[in-house]
Amino acid sequence: MTESQLQKLLGSADPDPGCDHSGELMDAYCELVARGEPLPDRFAEFVTHIANCTACREDTEGLLAALREQEESGTG
């Protein structure tokens, strides 16, 4: 079993606040990433969560893609 398979099965043992709390941070996280700014420590658990949760990771990628599209089209 590869490390990535094991990660997919068991996730990380680091603190993970779950989907609801992470959803509250998703917009601020995406803006920081879109601007290329360093992430403050308060996003550490959010980062753990999106590594553990496929749906929240996909949604974060979706919001980031929307921000980038808005930036490129000048509608952001």
Partner 1 sequence: MNTVALDRESAEWLRDLQGNGGAREHAIARLHALLLRVARGEAARRRATLPDRALEDVDDLCVQAASDALMAVLAKLDTYRGAARFTTWACKFAILETSTRLRRHAWRQQKVELDDTIWNRLPDAAPPALQRLENDQLIDALHRAVDDHLTERQRLIFQSVTMDDVPIDVLAERLGTSRGAIYKTLHDARGKLRQALIEAGHGGRVS
Residues at the interface with partner 1 (CB under 8 A): 1-2, 5-6, 8-11, 13, 16, 18-20, 23-28, 30-31, 52-55, 58-59, 62-63, 65-67, 69-70, 75-76
CB of 44 to partner 1, least distance (A): 16
State whether the Cα torsion 14-40-29-65 is positive or negative.
Answer: negative
Q: Would residue 39 be called left, alpha or beta, if left means φ above 0 and alpha means ψ between -120 and 50 degrees?
A: beta
Check if the beta carbon of residue 64 is closer than 8 Å to that of residue 20.
Answer: no
CB of 47 to partner 1, least distance (A): 16
CB of 42 to partner 1, least distance (A): 10
